[in-house]
């Protein structure tokens, strides 16, 4: 990113507004940060939301004339990721060309115009964030410490992958613990670590018990009974306890050591990977807006908000096809209502993944289109199933159904059984 005026301006922050955020007014989401020159007039205001920031990073860093190739088998995503990222020709600034293979290794032959890339980042997040590199609860992930992974730069590559997913596709992890996020934007020593962030449940239980003791003697007995002295020696917290305050301070220090200091090498490697494409600097400068991209914040979708994601491409007004589309649009809207009311096997995430390769609405803008399958297939019959082009983010609805129940059944079947690019 161009940074020639970094001393005069700060990124301004616009809180990332989730789909269907009903409790935020325009004034609430336009949170502007101002930098005031102590010896001069007020600096100019610059209003940027997370989409603008990522768009600027993409423009500044991504080289669309060169490609980095990823050959990915869905049953072993991590292996394909690390193979590609250790290749000499790999560079995070290059445009990605992703080719998936089926289970027997035959190429699907898809040309990557964006759809495979989006699916790749979606599946990569699921694989990486559930791998040995991370620990903790599903919506509050922390970095683990794995010596072998650290030796092979896997933490560094995981950081690079997240930076690439955000800048190339606008897709954030949305599951970091606040502890992990805060450790990326400020000094480890300044990050508060709650007891419940300790992933070792036995140690977490012991520390919680220490927090509730009524006397120093009771604390010392608990430490002896649980053999906590070994942890105290490793963490540098072994000392004479003189008060309940000392006990509680020690418990928090052990939690801090276990979560952050013990895994410091992992954090530093991961953080180094996130510096690529200018992402980490942007996150540090705009921590408020990016926290909702990195940490868990449920993306609330309704039938109305999901419908608004799609631009409908209609046939000529009052033509025969127009009349058919009227019927299908009613079916489509009823399907979305069934999803919202949980009267359907599918979720909005399932349909979005089918149509775009994404399971959440990305931070960067994306144009979704809704079309209709009027033309017969090679068999001479109209398709019963929806089809999708994830590269262009086009969802095509079948026109063969006269009854909503048949439309819903075949739509569910297609999405549930689709693999790859939404072709049932």
What's the pLDDT tens digit per position in 62-96?
998 999 999 988 888 999 999 999 999 999 999 99
SS3 348: helix
User: Which helix or strand (DSSP H or E) is residue 165 part of?
Assistant: helix 154-169
pLDDT at 75: 83
pLDDT at 105: 43
Residue 358 gets the label, from left (phi > 0), alpha (psi -120 to 50) or beta, of beta
| CB 265, CB 150: distance < 8 Å | yes
Ranges of the chain whose pLDDT falls below 70: 1-48, 102-113, 419-424
Give the burial class of 112: count Cβ atoms within 10 A of its Cβ; 0-12 exposed, 13-18 middle, 19 or more buried: buried
- Inter-CA distances, 120 with 163, 164, 219, 375, 420, Å: 14, 11, 50, 31, 10
The span from the CA of 31 to the CA of 45, in Å, is: 11
Tally the C-alpha atoms within 13 A of residue 279's C-alpha that lie toward its C-beta. Answer: 31
List helix spans (H) across 16-104: 26-29, 50-61, 77-85
The span from the CA of 251 to the CA of 110, in Å, is: 54
Domains of the chain with bracketed CATH:
65-186+264-294 (3.90.1750.10), 195-261 (no CATH), 303-417 (3.30.2410.10)
Task: Tell me the β-bridge partners of 72.
Answer: 100
| CB 254, CB 232: distance < 8 Å | yes
DSSP notation for 95-143: EEEEEEE-TTS-B-----SSHHHHHHHHHHHHHHHTSTTEEEETTEEEE
Among candidate residues 231, 219, 239, 238, the one with its CA nearest the CA of residue 257:
231
Question: Count of CB atoms within 10 A of residue 343's CB?
Answer: 11
Note if the pTM is more than 0.95.
Answer: no
Among candidate residues 156, 128, 134, the one with its CA nearest the CA of residue 259:
134
* pLDDT tens-digit series, residues 290-339: 999 999 988 788 999 999 999 999 998 888 999 999 999 999 999 999 99
List helix spans (H) across 343-390: 348-356
The span from the CA of 174 to the CA of 167, in Å, is: 15
End-to-end Cα distance, the chain: 41
pLDDT at 14: 29
């Amino acid at each position: 990113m161009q940074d020639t005026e970094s001393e005069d301006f700060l990124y301004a922050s616009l809180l990332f507004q989730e789909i269907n955020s009903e409790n935020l007014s325009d004034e609430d989401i336009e949170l502007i940060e101002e930098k005031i020159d102590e010896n001069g007039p007020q600096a100019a205001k610059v209003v940027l939301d997370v989409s603008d920031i990522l768009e600027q990073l993409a423009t500044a860093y991504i080289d669309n004339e060169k490609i980095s190739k990823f050959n990915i088998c869905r049953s072993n995503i991590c292996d394909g990721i690390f193979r590609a990222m250790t290749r000499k020709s790999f560079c995070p600034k290059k445009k990605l060309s992703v080719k998936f293979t089926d289970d027997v290794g035959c190429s699907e032959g898809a040309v990557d115009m964006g759809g495979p890339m989006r699916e790749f980042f979606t599946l990569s997040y699921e694989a990486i964030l559930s791998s040995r590199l991370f620990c903790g609860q599903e919506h509050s992930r922390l970095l683990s410490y794995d010596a072998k992974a650290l030796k092979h730069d896997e933490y560094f590559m995981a950081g690079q992958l997240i930076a690439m997913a955000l800048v190339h596709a606008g897709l954030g992890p949305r599951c970091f613990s606040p502890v992990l996020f805060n450790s990326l934007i400020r000094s480890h020593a300044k990050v508060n670590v709650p007891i419940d962030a300790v992933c070792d449940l036995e140690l977490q239980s012991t520390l919680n018990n220490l927090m509730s003791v009524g006397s120093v003697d009771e604390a010392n007995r608990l430490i002896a009974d649980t053999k906590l002295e070994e942890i105290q020696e490793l963490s540098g917290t072994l000392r004479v306890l003189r008060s309940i305050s000392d006990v509680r301070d020690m418990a928090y220090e052990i939690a801090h050591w276990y979560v952050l200091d013990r895994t410091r090498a992992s954090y530093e490697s991961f953080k180094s990977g996130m510096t690529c494409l200018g992402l980490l600097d942007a996150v540090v400068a705009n921590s408020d807006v990016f926290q909702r991209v990195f940490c868990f914040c449920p993306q609330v979708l309704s039938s109305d908000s999901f419908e608004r994601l799609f631009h409908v491409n209609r046939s000529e007004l009052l033509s025969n096809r127009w009349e058919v589309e009227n019927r299908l649009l009613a079916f489509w809207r009823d399907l979305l209502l069934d999803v919202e009311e949980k009267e359907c096997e599918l979720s909005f995430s399932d349909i979005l993944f089918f149509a775009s390769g994404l399971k959440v609405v990305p931070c960067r803008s994306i144009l979704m289109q809704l079309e209709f399958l009027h033309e017969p297939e090679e068999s001479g019959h109209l398709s019963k199933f929806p089809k999708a082009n994830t590269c262009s983010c086009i969802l095509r609805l079948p026109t063969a159904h006269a009854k909503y129940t048949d439309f819903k059944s075949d739509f569910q079947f297609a999405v549930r059984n689709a693999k790859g690019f939404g072709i049932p």
